[in-house]
């Protein structure tokens, strides 16, 4: 999986490209750990180019959410496709990880 990092005025956007599985989950965890260590705790994970997510990928997202919140920030997800949305619904994680239409709207300009 490729992760592209870009900055918005109010958040860091991590654009994921590929499958978010057990192989890629450690890479996402490392990116989040680097951001939190640098004091960047407002994060959007853009899933527009993620076609598949498994339980390890879900665990990485939940871990990222916890890491950012413990550091006083927040994590939101954006542009998730239907497979990702379905997995979030089936696991009830859509209650915790709300999906926003795009990265720019995830924090509403905060």
Domain boundaries, the chain: 2-102
Q: What is the pLDDT of residue 109?
A: 53
Helices 25-37, 55-70: inter-axial angle, 10-degree rounding: 10
- pTM of the full predicted structure? 0.94
Q: What is the pLDDT along the chain (110 residues), one digit of tens a residue?
A: 999 999 998 899 999 999 999 999 999 999 999 999 999 999 999 999 999 999 999 999 999 999 999 999 999 999 999 999 999 999 999 999 989 999 999 987 54
Would you say 82 and 50 are in contact if contact means Cβ atoms under 8 Å apart? Answer: no
CATH top-level class of 2-102: alpha beta
User: 16-45 in b/e burial notation, b at 16+ Cβ within 10 A?
Assistant: beeebbeebbebbbebbeebbeeebbbbbb
């Amino acid at each position: 999986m490729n992760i592209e990092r870009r900055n918005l005025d109010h958040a860091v956007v991590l654009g994921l490209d590929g499958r978010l599985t057990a192989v890629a989950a450690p890479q996402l965890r490392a990116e989040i750990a680097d951001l939190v260590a640098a004091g960047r705790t407002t994060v959007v994970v853009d899933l527009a180019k993620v076609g598949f997510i498994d339980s390890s990928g879900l665990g990485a997202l939940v871990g990222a959410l916890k890491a950012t919140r413990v550091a006083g920030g927040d994590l939101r997800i954006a542009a998730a496709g239907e497979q990702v949305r379905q997995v979030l619904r089936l696991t009830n994680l859509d209650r915790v990880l709300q999906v926003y239409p795009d990265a720019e709207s995830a924090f509403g300009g905060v």
